[in-house]
A and B are shown apart, each in its own frame.
Chain A
Amino acid sequence: MRPWKFALLTLAAGAGVFALALALGSDYVFFAGYVVLQFIVLATAWNILGGYCGYVNFGTAAFFAIGTYTTVALHKIGSNSGRYLSGTAGELLQPLFPLSVPTLVILSGVVAGLIGFGMGYLTLRLRGVFFAIATLAMAVVLQTLVINWDFVGGSRGAYIIRDESLPVAGFKLGYVHYLFLIMLLLAAVALSVARLIEGSRLGYGFATIRDDEMAAEAAGVPTLRLKLVATTISGALMGMAGAPYPYYIGYVEPAGTFGLQYAVNSIAMPMIGGTTSWAGPLIGAILLGSMQQIATVTISSAVNLLLVGVLLVVFVVIAPNGIIGLILDWQRTRGKP
């Protein structure tokens, strides 16, 4: 299948999901669905570096929070643009504010991508585990920065007041529906990007790094450049997933935004689904994401996080290639009598 056909197909599937959610007629579907879609984006983004290149990123929460806090900062500037934008440059920028959510998503993607690139440049020249440890430490440091940064609320957090609805072509679109649509589009973009990479020279380059970096280097694959491309794309997508979050939740504070659940989910979902193709993170995110939405309502949020951790450990020990691997194995054994 051609990449553009695949992109159209994901868009069509997205439209189908939106129509189905509308048909169910409950706003809760949109609230819960938003979180699942957000995890599809995060898991797919993680898998571009983790699954395709074999480099573990523990800093999903950090990249997600970069997007979230880019939105918070720009929203605050926008809500009081006369005060923060002064001088001639400020007057030129003023008419642009307040920024729309899609603009914020793109800007967050740029910021997170740049930080991903910087992190990668500093640590990817060494052994892969240093990158993993650095991303883990980066989450703690960014949290420290945000706690000490009063402009975005510090440790007290920041409130974002959103409109009830949004006029779109004469209709009144509920804001939750609007955010759901944006996340749906982001998920389609993330899956299309992952699929595009998979079938391209870039993807084959990534696979050589995953399988044997030394041999790839010796064969003339520009490993550092490819790893930096992967880190940048992956970081940018994570930042984009975080950008609409303040509007969704209404109140952000560092402890929640930097929560370990983002890191563990974005690792567990591809690992449980399968890391070598775009379908793995999608399957993992839909399964684990919906399971958590149900468990949060019926049991408790701490228990469902424990469940994610246990599933992650069980899958990496027993089924290293995830659900997709299990299906392939099953097909193979069924083929042979």
Chain B
Amino acid sequence: MSMPLDLLSNAIVAGLLLGGFYAAVTAGIAISFGMLDIVNIAHPAFIIMGSYLAYIINATTGLDPVAAAIVMLPVFYLLGVGIYQIYYAAFERRGQEALRGLAFFFGLLFITEVGLILAFGVDYRYVEARYIGPTWRIGFVDLPLRMLVPCGVSLLMVLGLQLFLAKSFIGRAIQAVAQDQQALQLLAADPIRIKRVAFGVSIATAALAGAFLIVIQPVEPSVGREYIGRAFAICVLGGMGSLPGTVIAAMLLGVVESFTATFYGPSWAPAVSFGVLLATLAVRPAGILGR
């Protein structure tokens, strides 16, 4: 079978752009699940919440959705801090995170989704911005701006997070918590406080990821579910807590999905992530950049 070159290169570029967005979706999970061992399956629900907040701000003030998300960052950070406080007091301290902690996050996921349905209905919502619509064209390769802008800002965000984790004091403390919590305690640092900050940061990324999502496609409350499988597949494939690994894995999944959508039809795309997840777990559970 010969593939037309333009179709092939467009599929690859579309996949890379999609992957850039997936990196933003997964960055928060890479921190909470990969580093802190908190299985936050409600993360996609917070992303959808971010989408709706961007939508509300955009619809009422006309502010750019991505700028609106940046305004909302502190709110999401505080939300994350609050959730971690409950999670710690109710589950982590008692050592019950495996069963009840998971049920807790599942309940949060469910409450957010049903709450949004009750408040906004199941209609698709969308935002308005200058870059939604136009497409740059380089040769025969299409670069739709509604994909390019989220991808670019997303990569900037992940880069910023990586610098924060590698250079700043608190960032290095977060990495230390991920490695050995007890050792940190011996150094007279409070691991709970550091984890609280880290979890707040992970939820804050959901505000931006949500804005990207609603720029890329119209959103309704149950879209988030499709991203659970994707985000965890990317997180595992990327080697859990590694942000560079997350970006590589996200791009990889984006390209594979884009190929599936181009050559088999878009309705098959959600199945790809599950295949990737199962294959990774079966063959190399440590991921591509795993420790």
Contacts and interface: CB of A to CB of B under 8 A. Distances in A.
Interface of A: 50, 54, 56, 58, 122-123, 126, 128-130, 132-134, 136-138, 140-141, 143-145, 147-148, 260, 263-264, 267-268, 271, 275, 302-303, 305-306, 308-310, 312-313, 316-317, 320
Contact of A140 (B41, B90, B107, B229): B229
B285 interface: yes
Given A123-B278, A134-B274, 10 more contacts: A129-B39, A144-B267, A144-B271, A264-B110, A305-B110, A310-B111, A312-B106, A313-B108, A316-B91, A317-B90
A306 B229 contact: no
Nearest to A119: B278
A264 B67 CA distance: 35
A137 B273 contact: yes
B110 A54 contact: no
A128 B100 CA distance: 13
Interface in B261-277: 265, 267-268, 270-271, 273-275, 277
Q: Which of B99, B102, B273 has the most CB of A within 10 A?
A: B99
A130 B86 CA distance: 23
20 contacts: A50-B99, A56-B106, A58-B41, A130-B285, A132-B39, A134-B278, A136-B229, A143-B270, A145-B271, A148-B267, A260-B113, A264-B106, A268-B103, A275-B99, A302-B117, A306-B115, A306-B118, A309-B114, A310-B107, A316-B107
B229 A267 contact: no
B209 interface: no
B87 to A, nearest CB: 9
A147 B271 CA distance: 11
Given A140-B274, A310-B111, A312-B103, A126 B98 contact: no
Nearest to B102: A56
Chain A to chain B: the 5 pairs with minimum beta-carbon distance, closest first: A137-B229, A313-B107, A309-B110, A141-B274, A312-B107
Given A133-B232, A144-B268, A309 B278 contact: no
B103 to A, nearest CB: 5
B79 to A, nearest CB: 15
Contacts of B125: none
B190 interface: no
Contacts of A143: 270
B225 A260 contact: yes
B103 A271 contact: yes
Interface of B: 39, 41, 86, 90-91, 94, 96, 98-100, 102-104, 106-108, 110-111, 113-115, 117-118, 222, 225-226, 228-229, 232-233, 236, 265, 267-268, 270-271, 273-275, 277-278, 281-282, 285
A136 B111 CA distance: 17
A143 B226 CA distance: 11
B30 to A, nearest CB: 14
Contacts of B96: 320
Contacts of B225: 140, 260
A56 B113 contact: no
Nearest to A255: B222
Nearest to B105: A313
Contacts of B274: 134, 137-138, 140-141
Contacts of A313: 104, 107-108, 111
A128 B110 contact: no
B271 A312 contact: no
Given A271-B103, A313-B107, A316-B100, A123 B229 contact: no
Nearest to A138: B274
Nearest to A260: B110
Contacts of B281: 122-123, 126, 130, 134
A136 B41 contact: yes
Given A122-B282, A313-B111, A137 B104 contact: no
A147 B267 contact: yes
A77 to B, nearest CB: 24
Nearest to A271: B103
Contact of A309 (B41, B86, B107, B285): B107
B83 to A, nearest CB: 11
Contacts of A132: 39, 41, 102
A320 B277 contact: no
Contacts of B271: 140-141, 144-145
Given A122-B282, A136-B41, A302-B114, A56 B107 contact: no
A264 B107 contact: yes
Contact of A56 (B91, B103, B114, B275): B103
Contacts of A144: 267-268, 270-271
A102 B1 CA distance: 48
Contacts of B115: 306
Q: Which of A141, A147, A260, A271 has the most CB of B within 10 A?
A: A141
Contacts of B278: 122-123, 134
A56 B99 contact: yes
A58 B98 contact: no
Contacts of A130: 236, 281, 285
A312 B105 CA distance: 10
Given A313-B104, A313-B107, A137 B232 contact: yes
Q: Which of A136, A137, A271, A309 has the most CB of B within 10 A?
A: A137
A54 B229 contact: no
Nearest to B37: A129
A191 B26 CA distance: 41
A130 B110 CA distance: 20
Contacts of B226: 140
Contacts of A306: 111, 114-115, 118
